[in-house]
Amino acid sequence: MESYSNKVMEHFKNPRNVGDMEKPDGIGHVGNPVCGDIMELYIKVKDNIITDAKFKTFGCGAAIATSSMVTEIVKGKTLEEALKVTNQSVVDALDGLPKVKLHCSVLAEQALKRAVDDYLKKTTGKGLGLPEEDAGHQCMHELPEELK
């Protein structure tokens, strides 16, 4: 396997924003034990701005580093800006990921989208219209075309 960048290792060693959040405004839960990655992302929202973000992750080094990085990226962003955060921006911020680990960055993007979706549902009753998560199997075995 390709090795991790220093940035990935740094976030893996000292992950930012770890832990539970008191009364989060939105929760994004993605992944499944089958594939070995589960991410939970919690956000606080005030006046349309994400004021705080925290996470808990079951997974490999890349899963932990991408979770940590996405919480860093998203703090201070408006909801609209947050929804524009892509897996590629997480990968870039980490100075790249080994190819086999790219699915972790997709998971980070999805966790963020689901957290925003959860917040919108709670506050406006209308979410982003994301597909239901299939609890049985959510592995990213098939990478999006652009990641292949």
Residues engaged in binding other proteins (CB under 8 A): 1, 9, 12-13, 15, 18-20, 29, 32-40, 56-64, 100-101, 103, 135-136, 139-141
* Given the residues 93, 102, 104, 108, the one annotated as active site: 104
* Given the residues 9, 27, 35, 120, the one annotated as active site: 35
Q: How far is the CB of 81 from other proteins (least distance, A)?
A: 26
The residue among 14 and 124 lying less far from other proteins, judged by its C-beta, is: 14
Beta bridge partners of residue 42, listed in sequence order: 27, 54
SS (HEC) of the chain: CCCCCHHHHHHHHCCCCECCCCCCCEEEEEEECCCCEEEEEEEEEECCEEEEEEEEEECCHHHHHHHHHHHHHHCCCEHHHHHCCCHHHHHHHCCCCCHHHHHHHHHHHHHHHHHHHHHHHHHHCCCCCCCCCCCCCCCCCCCCHHHC
The residue among 62 and 74 lying less far from other proteins, judged by its C-beta, is: 62
Q: How far is the CB of 47 from other proteins (least distance, A)?
A: 28
The residue among 78 and 133 lying less far from other proteins, judged by its C-beta, is: 133
Distance CA 100, CA 11 (A): 18
Tokens 């917040």: give the residue. 119
The residue among 9 and 130 lying less far from other proteins, judged by its C-beta, is: 9
Q: How far is the CB of 84 from other proteins (least distance, A)?
A: 26
The answer to whether 139 is a known catalytic residue is no
Q: How far is the CB of 111 from other proteins (least distance, A)?
A: 11
What are the tokens at 18? 């770890």
- Write out the catalytic residue numbers: 35, 104
